[in-house]
A = this chain, B = another copy of it.
Amino acid sequence: MKVLEERIRKEGLILSDTVLKVDSFLNHQVDTGLALQTGREFKEVFGHLPVTKILTVEASGIQFAMAAGIAFSVPFIYAKKKKAVTLSEDVYSAPVHSFTRGEDYQISISQKYLGPEDKVLIVDDFLATGAALVGLADIVEQSGAQLLGVGCVIEKSFQEGRSLLEKRGIAVHALARISSMAPGEVHFIANEELIKESAGC
């Protein structure tokens, strides 16, 4: 997604070779039009699949799940992050380790909103270590729903997230794929072809 790569070049704040801040237009202040456009892009890629629900995790996935929900005309669910989930709650949950914050938390969704009849597209802002996305994939598995793919806005391709997901047979698409970065410079991978043939798992 060229316009996204341009915005990252212009407005992204690269603090180190792993830390990129995009909070002027994606995940603190949000360019509403650009967010909407990410939804249309995900529709381009996954639109041939019978998606019934979009799944993301709070908070910074919500605007992109909303955009995808609009493009697909389906509801979205955002998993909650908590320090701990009590066993009494009727939730699907998965542990996630945040490398950024050096802490563990649980993500969970109510069992009421996902079941074997659902076909799910997971959407999030970043794909890096893949920790949160693998947790979301676990939740889909627990629910018995079918996972049709993962769509991310920005991928740090030099981290292991994509390979963790692809090893599980999950189709992954990222709108901007960063191959390397350092303060003052960022390099992108030319995006893959539409993954219509391989999507679905």
Contact B69–A30 (Cβ < 8 Å): yes
A37 to chain B, nearest CB (A): 12
Question: B29, B35, B62, B75: which contacts A29 (Cβ < 8 A)?
Answer: B75
When the two chains form their complex, are residues B77 and A29 in contact, meaning their CB atoms are under 8 A apart?
yes
Q: Chain B: which residue is nearest A30 at the CB level?
A: B76
**What is the 8 Å Cβ interface bit string for chain A, positions 50-90, against chain B (1 contact, 0 not)?**
00010000110011011101100111111010000000000
Q: Which of B59, B69, B113 contacts A32 (CB 8 A)?
A: B69
Select one of B29, B33, B69, B112 contacting A113, CB under 8 A: B29
Chain A interface residue count, CB cutoff 8 Å, equals 32
Could you say which residues of chain B place their CB within 8 Å of the CB of A80? 28, 59
A166 interface hit (Cβ, 8 Å)? no
The secondary structure that dominates the A interface is mixed
Interface status of A23 (Cβ within 8 A of chain B) = yes
Instruction: Return the contact of A78 from the options B28, B36, B70 (Cβ within 8 A).
Output: B28
Task: Please tell me which one of the listed residues B67, B70, B78, B110 contacts residue A59 in the complex, with CB atoms under 8 A apart.
Answer: B78
Q: List 13 A-B contacts (CB under 8 A).
A: A29-B53, A29-B75, A29-B77, A30-B66, A30-B77, A31-B75, A32-B66, A58-B59, A59-B59, A59-B62, A62-B62, A62-B63, A62-B66
Chain A interfacial positions (CB closer than 8 Å to B): 23-25, 28-33, 35-36, 53, 58-59, 62-63, 65-67, 69-70, 73-78, 80, 109-110, 112-113
